[in-house]
Amino acid sequence: QKEVEQNSGPLSVPEGAIASLNCTYSDRGSQSFFWYRQYSGKSPELIMSIYSNGDKEDGRFTAQLNKASQYVSLLIRDSQPSDSATYLCAVNMAGRWGLTGGGNKLTFGTGTQLKVEL
């Protein structure tokens, strides 16, 4: 089982629709979760972070976290062609900050490619 798993896609949605991106993780003790957007040929850009169960909204983006089920999702409302990119899920896989147990780094999924079609 991969530590952080995402469907590679591509996920195609029409313009104006809601795009739903999902991520599951293996470490039940993980506390911090992040979504990055990566345009083709560019570096990842942080768009959302979430630490507690429930929803966190920022503009058109909503991150959802369910620690019991070990998944985190990203919803993009009113999807635009400019949202077309690969979305990376990142997890700090430790129960606390520190240099052991994976807390020293973010573990990334391989990303989901999103295509927003006109």
Partner 1 sequence: SQTIHQWPATLVQPVGSPLSLECTVEGTSNPNLYWYRQAAGRGLQLLFYSVGIGQISSEVPQNLSASRPQDRQFILSSKKLLLSDSGFYLCAWSAVLGAEAFFGQGTRLTVV
Q: Which residues are near partner 1 by CB under 8 A? A: 4, 32, 34, 41-46, 49, 88, 90, 92, 94, 97-99, 102-111
Nearer to partner 1, 70 or 110 (CB): 110
**76 vs 89 by CB, closer to partner 1:** 89
Distance in Å, CB of 117 to partner 1, minimum: 24
CB nearer to partner 1: give 73 or 79: 73
Q: Minimum Å distance from CB 98 to partner 1?
A: 8
- Nearest approach, Cβ of 49 to partner 1 (angstroms)? 5
Integer Cα distance of 35 and 39 in angstroms: 13
> CA 38, CA 102: separation in Å to the nearest integer?
24
DSSP secondary structure code for residue 97 in this structure: S
Coil vs helix vs strand at 83: helix
Q: Based on CB atoms, which residue is closest to partner 1, 34 or 74?
A: 34
Of 114, 102, 115, 117, the C-alpha closest to 4 is 102
CB of 20 to partner 1, least distance (A): 20
DSSP 50-82: E-SSEEEEETTEEEEEETTTTEEEEEESS--GG
